[in-house]
Structure 1
């Protein structure tokens, strides 16, 4: 049983206290699923939001013949822009276009250092007060790698922004060891998003290639978000982790 329902609830007004925000997104749709409500609340409060898209998103339907890998990437990036607009975010995402399913997780791997440098440059330019990251042990390798990439970009950054970690796959796949441990020194909380839940649901639906009936329909084994998974994100709260007091 996940402990998320036991976490303290913070009101929607909490979002305004986060200031300008950068969100690190492993794949198109993670922004809507994991923190779409918070993004909508940030924009309603007039806070700037910038988005970094880590992977190229091309591997959800790798057997598609009608859509090449480049075409799949273009579709998914277009869906991301549409979803962000529905949440009130109109800044152009920064696409790092690392390989979907193989995002590098350490400096010795190809593409890691360059991607960390590009993310760091955006952070220096945007000067966010808060950075939204995937939960460090979210049960998807690209999510964990994206967290490591963000940590490398944040290391030694002047005026280090406040990190908040959001969950996506932990809702469905988390093992006990994937959840916060005492050594993590983090605390969980829930954010009330009921006022903007319709915006979040529309943003999720904007990722048409990932929800039935889909877009890449010539790959029968391709990925689609299951109804059970989608139900986790139709709740009036979102879960975040932050450094424990």
Structure 2
């Protein structure tokens, strides 16, 4: 499958700030270099206690990081759907119908308003409940129907993150590899640097070495130097 990214309008769903860079950072760089439009729909963010060197990050800090990353990748727009601790790491408590309506029509960059040609979502096998809730809600929003009545993106992809492999059952390897140039990988790595509250040293799923190693592995599987792996959910030729 060959894609002319210059003709595409990408809409990426990120459960939290940094998921879009971890999963699609290379593609965002490649697509923008080609002339594509790129939009990011964040689902939620809140104050977070984690295992980073700092140990704690606030929602305000995360919003500041988003602005820096947006400028770095030259996003055309982004939106935070459900900010606050009532939703952060609790999206599984929000009725799917409400998440689906937001994704389908209510967000300023909803599918109905933006009419993207490519939609990218987290993989539903993630152990993280917010990732699962986002993946399932987008899946519902993109349900088959009459294309004369509802917009259907031509290409729907699930992106991968290193931690997605933490499952009791086997996880299929990506069936689509997007070839990256070194500058695309460097853009991805720098994007994660700008998420300073979320970066970690190796060994960690968000370390620079992990991201580079996964890119080398996916590239090798396609016979190229560097790549990013995706699962094809819909491809309308």
TM range (shorter): 0.7 to 0.9
2:128 corresponds, among 132, 140, 144, to: 140
Cα RMSD (Å) of the superposition? 2.9
Which residue number corresponds to residue 104 of structure 2?
Answer: 120
Using the size of structure 2 for normalisation, the TM-score is 0.75
The answer for unaligned runs of 5 or more in structure 2 is 216-225
Q: Is the 8 A contact 1:25 1:53 kept in 2?
A: yes
1:240 corresponds, among 224, 230, 233, to: 230
C-alpha displacement of 1:40: 1.2
Q: Between Structure 1 and Structure 2, how many residues are aligned?
A: 206
Which residue number corresponds to residue 92 of structure 1?
Answer: 78
> Matches of residues 44-55 of structure 1 in structure 2 within 5 Å?
44-55=33-44
1:189 aligns with 2:179: no
**Measured at CA, do residues 92 and 133 of structure 1 come closer, stay the same or move farther in structure 2, by a change above 3 Å?**
closer
1:158 aligns with 2:150: yes
State how far apart, in whole Å, the 1-side matches of 2:204 and 2:21 are. 16
C-alpha displacement of 1:102: 1.6
Using the size of structure 1 for normalisation, the TM-score is 0.72
C-alpha displacement of 1:226: 4.8
Q: Is the 8 A contact 1:52 1:96 kept in 2?
A: no
Of structures 1 and 2, the one with the larger relative CO (CA 8 A, separation 6+) is 1
1:128-156 CA deviation, whole Å, 9 max, x = no partner? Answer: 01100101212322211110111222234
C-alpha displacement of 1:57: 4.1
State how far apart, in whole Å, the 2-side matches of 1:244 and 1:118 are. 21
The answer for unaligned runs of 5 or more in structure 1 is 1-9, 182-186, 213-224
**Measured at CA, do residues 47 and 143 of structure 1 come closer, stay the same or move farther in structure 2, by a change above 3 Å?**
same
